[in-house]
Chains A and B, each alone.
Chain A
Amino acid sequence: MNKLPVALTRHDANKIARYTKRRKQFSAAFYALCVAIALLSVAILVVLLMSIGIEGQSRLSTDLLTRSHSELQPQRSGMWPAIVGSLLVCGTCGLLALPLGIGTAIFLEEFKPRNRWLLRLRSFVQLNVSNLAGVPSIVYGLLGLTMFVYMFNLFGQIQVNQSSGWELMGAKHLYQVLTLEPDHAVFIPQTNRNQNQITIDRPLDGLDQDWNPIAIDVWAPGTPQPKDPEVRRRTVAAGTTGGTVTDKAWYYFRLPLDRSFLAGGLTLGLVILPIIIIASQEALRSVPSSLREASLGLGATNWQTVRDVTFPAAVPGIMTGAILAMGRAIGEAAPILMVLGATISKESGPRHLMDNAVTMPVLIFNWAGRQQQEFKQLSAAAIIVLLVTLLILNSVAILIRHKIQQSQP
């Protein structure tokens, strides 16, 4: 068979040349399309940043950073409570997710079992982590709402922000009773939690507004009132009723967690947990196994190997993943909205562990959805603050990584 196949002999050189030329042109056109589309993503980012910058620049003022939201004065509204709230919520979130996530990653990467069944279990956990990463954050929000805010109603049917559930620490319940002096009250410690009111009919020991113990006198109507303001301030008309107030220390804690920043932080922790696990696993996986072998060959146990060799080598990678995850947490609005509610009228950051909080993304969401032009501009300004916060976070991460890499010989 010395004859060439027909397909190779029949060719017309011109035709092939033309065809090749067309193929080349097509390829060049495709290349141009690639460049154009790749540049499109840059253009989108530029348009995004510019439009928000233009919209928000007029509202970038100290008012924005120091004041709180005001329904009536849009022009003087600010986001101070939201900044504090965001930082606290993210702090809580990191405290939960970082140890848990890094621990899980170490377990999955460094303690691989040899037993077949355990290996299967491990790959199940691994698959589970990947799936958790794909669960929409709003479902985590619903989980947070059910698990932390209501706690599956294990503590009885609870009306949010009305019942106090199981108070564990930091709460002092008092009756507040008005004295003869206008706008002045004394406080009587509560002994029976079920009794919400007290009627004063005899002298009692109580506290003044600065929590100093005082003796409370009773003035019977009909008799002359004391004149001395000092005395009037600790004298109560007989028959006056007092309602319950609760003084909450910063460590006030109760179950269920209610719409507290703690619940919000924990929920966010669940959202970023899979991200941290996956990033840490990748960081650990990139540590060369020769280091692991060297350590084990020297008679180190698995844990000693992790502690002294693998983990230190993986720290920069883990840090990067953790910072990325924290960035995600700061910008996440949906779960926070579910857990903390949509109200933004707080005037300060959280005062105690069970206090509600506003976060930046929720505030942005609220402002952006309003009709008034002022609020829309404020929203853009708040976005600028949020993006700058993210920028700072990432720069800190780069700096820390740099430091760590330098300090490691």
Chain B
Amino acid sequence: MPLSSTTDTTPTDPQSQRGRTLIRIQNFNAWYGDFQALQDLTLDIPRHQVTAFIGPSGCGKSTLLKWINRMNDLTPGARAKGGISLLSDRPDEQTVDVDILDPNVDVVKLRRKIGIVFQKPNPFPKSIFDNVAFGPRLHLKTTKSELDELVEWALQKAAVWDEVKDRLQGPALGLSGGQQQRLCIARAIAMGPEVLLMDEPCSALDPASTLAIEDLMFELRSQYTIVVVTHNMQQASRCSDRTAFFFEGRLIESGETRKMFTNPDKNQTDDYVRGKFG
């Protein structure tokens, strides 16, 4: 189904929407060549909450994340079956806004709605300003002053404005790792997405920067729906509302983070969160 270009993409009242399903994953299977990376997966991702995907490496959590905004289109041999849909903000939680796996879906529009932040900070070798303005320049018709306003807003949202406001024209690669990662978050926010996908955003950072990013995630969920893949159990328990545990290509269990970490239904989950394997 093609994307509708109505303005329902920015919810007017975030709090009333909170908890309603935004992304619905149904009977999802994914392959790389002949290797099946994910099997028969069903999961709802709620609005304005942080959902963490946890599990040992190779369990398929990153694969799922990359299918949500179709980054896997770039991987040769990657295939998927089943359904991932972005729901509209009607209260019935049924109306499909975008059928993400539809081969005819406009991935440009899709990725504008679903931004992604990668494992390693990857700012472009341009100035800080140009990095943040990259998305808006592609997608939005803006005047110079509007763009300035937008860049400042995004950098403030990502909590780096105070550190970079004096050197917006300076090279982005001159920033520290944590600053670079927050810049990448600002870059994603500046397109005005609904969802932020984060693929182990802190794995390349020092503890202090990690903490800053975690705080930021918590802040941002009032306005965005956040999906974060993490290896770090403490991180998942600290900053997520819901947790999904993956093991060997299957979704073992998902639910409220507190419940998942204190009293999970499955033994496997219990073993994993207690650090017995993985």
Contact = CB atoms under 8 A, between A and B. Distances in A.
Direct contact of A and B (CB under 8 A): yes
Nearest to B108: A299
B74 A294 contact: no
Given A296-B111, A298-B135, A304-B138, A291 B124 contact: yes
Contact of B118 (A294, A299, A312): A294
Nearest to A297: B116
A300 B111 CA distance: 8
Contacts of A294: 118, 122-124, 184, 187
B74 A299 contact: no
Contact of B172 (A119, A299, A409): A409
Nearest to A300: B138
Which secondary structure dominates chain B's binding surface?
helix
Interface in B136-185: 138-139, 169-174, 184
Contact of B115 (A291, A292, A297, A309): A297
A290 B76 contact: no
Contact of B171 (A291, A298, A312, A409): A409
A293 B123 CA distance: 11
Contacts of B51: none
B191 interface: yes
Nearest to A409: B171
Given A119-B76, A298-B187, A409-B171, A291 B111 contact: no
Interface in B169-219: 169-174, 184, 187-188, 191
Q: How large is the interface on B (under 10, 10 to 19, 20 to 34, 35 or more residues)?
A: 35 or more
A301 B118 contact: no
Given A295-B134, A300-B138, A309 B124 contact: yes
Interface in A276-316: 288, 290-301, 304, 308-309, 312-313
B168 to A, nearest CB: 11
Contacts of A162: none
A294 B169 CA distance: 20
B118 A293 contact: yes
Contact of B134 (A288, A308, A312, A408): A308
Nearest to B79: A114
A21 interface: no
B73 interface: yes
B14 interface: no
B118 A114 contact: no
A293 B124 contact: no
A42 to B, nearest CB: 37
A112 B76 contact: yes
Q: How large is the interface on A (under 10, 10 to 19, 20 to 34, 35 or more residues)?
A: 20 to 34
B111 to A, nearest CB: 4
B31 to A, nearest CB: 13
A114 B73 contact: yes
A112 B74 CA distance: 9
Nearest to B113: A299
Contact of A290 (B120, B134, B135, B138): B120
Contacts of B187: 294, 298
Interface in B62-116: 69, 71, 73-74, 76, 107-112, 115-116
Contact of B74 (A296, A300, A313): A296
A298 B76 contact: no
A304 B136 CA distance: 13
B127 interface: yes
A402 to B, nearest CB: 16
Contacts of B76: 112, 114, 119
A15 B139 CA distance: 79
Most buried by B among A294, A298, A300, A301: A298
Interface in A374-409: 408-409
B125 interface: yes
Given A112-B76, A293-B118, A299 B125 contact: no
Contacts of A293: 71, 74, 118, 122
A291 B134 CA distance: 12
A297 B199 CA distance: 12
Contact of B125 (A297, A300, A313): A313
A299 B122 contact: no
A295 B118 CA distance: 11
B274 interface: no
A295 B71 contact: no
Contacts of A295: 124, 134
A409 B120 contact: no
A85 to B, nearest CB: 41
A311 B125 CA distance: 12
A293 B76 CA distance: 14
A301 B108 contact: yes
A115 to B, nearest CB: 10
B259 interface: no
A298 B71 contact: no
Contacts of A291: 122, 124-125
Nearest to A304: B138
Contacts of B124: 291, 294-295, 308-309
Interface of B: 69, 71, 73-74, 76, 107-112, 115-116, 118, 120, 122-127, 134-135, 138-139, 169-174, 184, 187-188, 191
18 contacts: A288-B122, A290-B122, A291-B122, A291-B125, A292-B74, A293-B71, A294-B123, A296-B71, A297-B71, A298-B135, A298-B138, A298-B188, A299-B109, A299-B112, A312-B125, A408-B126, A409-B125, A409-B173
Given A293-B71, A297-B111, A299-B111, 9 more contacts: A114-B73, A288-B122, A293-B122, A298-B111, A298-B135, A308-B124, A308-B134, A408-B126, A409-B172
